[in-house]
Structure 1
Amino acid sequence: MTDASFAKGAPAPLSGQPFSGRRRKGLRITAEDGLGLAVILALGLLVLAPMGAVLVQAVAPGAFTGQLRGFGLWGLLEILERPLWRRALWNSLFLATVAAVLGGLMGAGLAILRHNGRLALGPALDVAAWAIIILPSFILAQGWILFASRGGLANQWFGLGFVPDLVFNPWGLAVVMALKSFPFAYLTTSAALQWRMEDFIHAARLNGAGPLRVLWSVRLPMVLPAVLSGAVLIFIDVLGDFGLPAALATTYRFPTLTYAIYVAINQSPIRFDLAGVMAFYVTAIMLVAVVAYFRVLRSRRYDFLGAKARMGGTGPVNRALLPNVLALAALTLALVIPIGSSVIVSFTDRIALGIGTDNLTLRHYAYVLETGGAFLRALQSSMWIAAQAAVGAGIIAAAAAYVVTFSGFRLNRLIDLTCTLSLAVPGVVLGIGYIFIWNAPLVDRAGLSLYGHPFILVLAGIAGAVPIAVRVLLGAMAQVPATMLQAAALQGAGLARRILTVVVPLVAAALVSATLTAFGSAMFDLAITSILRPPRLDVLPVYVNRAFEQGQFGAATAATLLAGGLTVLIIAAISAASRRLLRRLIPTDAGKG
């Protein structure tokens, strides 16, 4: 493109051509291409290599442990010959399928109630949905165990002897997982209901359709893609969940694939080959679910918005009894019972002593805060690891989002696909992949082995947080006009200066949010820390889970609440400080013409 074309107002692509305005010749590498290659290298090491190692290990057992036993699919059939692993496969499929159906219906139903007028408890549902997604599943699972077990609050305090049998069976656990994961369907359906086409609903009613017929034949088909998306997300989340089986280990025998992977690498002798096979099944099932979802979406059209579309959720507050009672019941089951049970137990001397002021105590908090105690060491280690992972994830995600948004880098689709697929990779699979890569004999001989070193937890934390951080930043960068960067380039600003002086100030708030989200997720990642933790390193999730397994319920809940409260305070303080700093560095002239 010539300078004359710039004068005529022709757009200047940021990556397809150098900013000097001369045509790109041959295979000339621009600065954006160099940044894209760096992103590909980082994602390759953090995500693609571990995922590839899991797939290779399934067809070539021992390939990464120096004990290669040949090539073939016979290793995949071994899971069918072992009753425990076969049972784990069936349990995982059962939990994920039932939870996807129940959670999808629950989330979609609550979203429709929420946006059918202004539901009085609607804001509480919104906050609770995000809180449940952010909270680690093992904490919610522990809360349900404290409430519903034989020695739990429901039986000991309230005399509800039927609750243990109601919860601790396959169907009850599926309901618990649906309560943990329904926010995925709730949020996706809520997003689809932001706009409404009342003309279709009015037409159906004029033709004699009742409320249920309108819901089934008009409202649900309009939001079917969102409902399916939520159900698939629930299926993926439950299939890869490690928190529930880890919490259940001492209460109810219900093996799943993720927990079987953990057992395989923590038994004697260690069976990396079986762990790799089970990790392959988890990944393969998730990919099948994603492919099936896309095939359903492509089977017909779902575009229905027109010029008469109106914003949903407007009008007077809906204080009708039934929808608000249903919303309150969902809030109670999904959040109040598990979190409330943990809070109560943390202040209770002994659950068996029942309700009474003489049973209240602070000794559990005093125990975990004991100077030089394991909790403080675990908290310090987890915060340091999470801080490094958050910074690394923020930098890589920002670079990836910039390349995808503002460049014509030839491998942009690979970057986007990697970040999308890695959202579906559970922590146990990622952890197994890291063991294969960073404990391989070739890597060890080169002196690059990280297995058993705390830094491997940082890398795994970055890998787990990058996909989410990229999604946050892509939305923010999409709002930045490319012409701003073109103008800076014409003034001689290089890539680094354009990013630091144009992009970063405009997306600073989103960058801070993405980094803090990565910090919070890395703090409580039980799956990765359980698999990759060096033997002598205390980390918070393992400390809490071990205390719970040993029956120290008061200490486990006190540690969870202290660490969770401190994490929230840190995130809130950094967020507030960053907003104040941004207002000072980037003053606004509100009110000036």
Structure 2
Amino acid sequence: GVLVVIFFVALGVPIIGALVSSMLKPFATLSLHNFTLSAYRGLFSVSGLGGSIGFSFKLAVLNGFLALFLGAVIARRLSKRGTTFIDKLLDVTVLAAIALPGLVLAAGYIFAYNLPILSGLGIDIYGTVLVLIMAYLAGALPSTTRVLAGPMSQVRGSLLDAGRVHGSGLAQSWWRCAVPLLGPSLLWAWLLTFAATFLELPASELLAPPGTQPVAVAILQVLGKSNISQGTALSIVALLIDLGMIIVISILFRFLAPKGWRRLGANVL
């Protein structure tokens, strides 16, 4: 009950406030006849908003897979016993990166990749989508690694060795012996990264290349024009896409994933 109250105050109140604001006529009082869907209908007439949603969606999907792969590798490295000094340094670095604000991270990318010396070396990637993806990945990797660290620590090396003894290669041993145990955890790590990247603002605002506009930046610009109803309507649409993706992928995993992935991963982890 306490958790329900906390989450309702932290998440439910602002979502309900944005929903009411998106359906309320500009500068109107809170009454039933002042509610309208004109802000939502107006979203389809504004050029560029659909492209913003599609651009952020594609980068969120890509960043989810990149963070999942690298996060699994780092989490496996950190979960091994008898870690070296390099492993401990990596652990501290990942932990410290969680506390690094996204605005500081994005500003660091600007100062680093906008230097003339890098252009002289042929590293001319400032103002490209690549820098934005790098910032997304750097921001998502710490949390993804922490999510997978616990499940990875439960996968013993003897399990993979048994697969190798029975004729499987290294990749096949991971796929047949470890991934069924890690399936649900890998799924939720990907969904966490996707959800956070889709509506990411600091790096998107500072590093988005010319001619592109992530959805979070589009929301901010609409609100900056004092169009509160349309800005909150776009926020609700983006939130529904975010939540809808989580629901759809979870349902597909439940019905399409191998039975062992669902049973073993859910019970063991």
Contact 1:529 1:539 in 2 (8 A): yes
Q: Distance in 1 between matches of 2:171 and 2:81?
A: 14
Query: Which residue of the partner structure matches residue 303 of structure 1?
Result: none
Query: Which residue of the partner structure matches residue 344 of structure 1?
Result: 20
Deviation at 1:548, TM superposition (A): 1.1
Query: Which residue of the partner structure matches residue 520 of structure 1?
Result: 195
In 2 relative to 1, CA 376–513 (structure 1 residues): closer, same or farther, beyond 3 Å?
same
Deviation at 1:348, TM superposition (A): 1.0
The one-letter amino acid paired with 1:343 is: L
1:549 paired to 2:224: yes
Query: Which residue of the partner structure matches residue 164 of structure 1?
Result: none
Contact 1:440 1:449 in 2 (8 A): no
The one-letter amino acid paired with 2:2 is: G
The one-letter amino acid paired with 2:186 is: L
Q: Distance in 1 between matches of 2:19 and 2:119?
A: 46
Contact 1:385 1:457 in 2 (8 A): no
Structure 2 gap segments, 5+ residues each: 265-269
1:452 to 123, 127, 130: 127
Query: Which residue of the partner structure matches residue 510 of structure 1?
Result: 185
Deviation at 1:123, TM superposition (A): 4.7
Q: Distance in 2 between matches of 1:441 and 1:407?
A: 44
Q: Distance in 1 between matches of 2:70 and 2:101?
A: 20
In 2 relative to 1, CA 416–493 (structure 1 residues): closer, same or farther, beyond 3 Å?
farther
Q: What does residue range 293-442 of structure 1 map to in structure 2 within 5 Å? A: 331-332=8-9, 334-351=10-27, 353-370=28-45, 373-406=47-80, 410=84, 411-442=86-117
Structure 1 counterpart SS, 2:257? helix
Query: Aligned pair count?
Result: 263
Q: What does residue range 32-43 of structure 1 map to in structure 2 within 5 Å? A: none
1:489 to 154, 164, 180: 164
In 2 relative to 1, CA 364–399 (structure 1 residues): closer, same or farther, beyond 3 Å?
same
Deviation at 1:583, TM superposition (A): 4.1
Q: Distance in 2 between matches of 1:504 and 1:336?
A: 35
Q: State the percentage of identical aligned residues.
A: 27
Q: What does residue range 71-220 of structure 1 map to in structure 2 within 5 Å? A: 121-125=1-5, 128=7
Deviation at 1:493, TM superposition (A): 4.0
The one-letter amino acid paired with 2:5 is: L
In 2 relative to 1, CA 573–446 (structure 1 residues): closer, same or farther, beyond 3 Å?
same
Deviation at 1:509, TM superposition (A): 0.8
Deviation at 1:495, TM superposition (A): 3.1
Q: Distance in 2 between matches of 1:528 and 1:586?
A: 35
* TM-score normalized by the length of structure 2: 0.89
Structure 1 gap segments, 5+ residues each: 1-120, 129-330
In 2 relative to 1, CA 492–402 (structure 1 residues): closer, same or farther, beyond 3 Å?
farther
Deviation at 1:434, TM superposition (A): 1.3
Contact 2:183 2:261 in 1 (8 A): no
In 2 relative to 1, CA 581–416 (structure 1 residues): closer, same or farther, beyond 3 Å?
farther
The one-letter amino acid paired with 2:219 is: V
1:562 paired to 2:208: no
The one-letter amino acid paired with 2:197 is: A
Contact 2:179 2:261 in 1 (8 A): no
Bigger relative contact order (CA 8 A; separation at least 6): 2
In 2 relative to 1, CA 491–380 (structure 1 residues): closer, same or farther, beyond 3 Å?
same
The one-letter amino acid paired with 2:73 is: A
The one-letter amino acid paired with 2:4 is: A
Contact 1:509 1:579 in 2 (8 A): no
Deviation at 1:491, TM superposition (A): 3.9
Deviation digits for residues 412-450 of structure 1 (CA, Å, limit 9, x no counterpart)? 112211211100111011111212332232322233322
Contact 1:477 1:507 in 2 (8 A): yes
In 2 relative to 1, CA 409–498 (structure 1 residues): closer, same or farther, beyond 3 Å?
farther
Deviation at 1:455, TM superposition (A): 2.1
1:473 to 139, 148, 151: 148
Query: Which residue of the partner structure matches residue 537 of structure 1?
Result: 212
In 2 relative to 1, CA 571–588 (structure 1 residues): closer, same or farther, beyond 3 Å?
closer
Deviation at 1:488, TM superposition (A): 2.4
Deviation digits for residues 138-170 of structure 1 (CA, Å, limit 9, x no counterpart)? xxxxxxxxxxxxxxxxxxxxxxxxxxxxxxxxx
Deviation at 1:357, TM superposition (A): 3.4
Structure 2 counterpart SS, 1:500? helix
Contact 1:391 1:515 in 2 (8 A): yes
Q: Distance in 1 between matches of 2:77 and 2:166?
A: 21
Structure 1 counterpart SS, 2:21? helix
Structure 1 counterpart SS, 2:67? helix
Deviation digits for residues 20-72 of structure 1 (CA, Å, limit 9, x no counterpart)? xxxxxxxxxxxxxxxxxxxxxxxxxxxxxxxxxxxxxxxxxxxxxxxxxxxxx
In 2 relative to 1, CA 337–474 (structure 1 residues): closer, same or farther, beyond 3 Å?
closer
The one-letter amino acid paired with 2:57 is: M
Contact 2:181 2:261 in 1 (8 A): no
Q: Distance in 2 between matches of 1:582 and 1:489?
A: 24
Deviation at 1:408, TM superposition (A): 5.5
* TM-score normalized by the length of structure 1: 0.42
Q: Distance in 1 between matches of 2:142 and 2:106?
A: 16
Contact 1:547 1:555 in 2 (8 A): yes
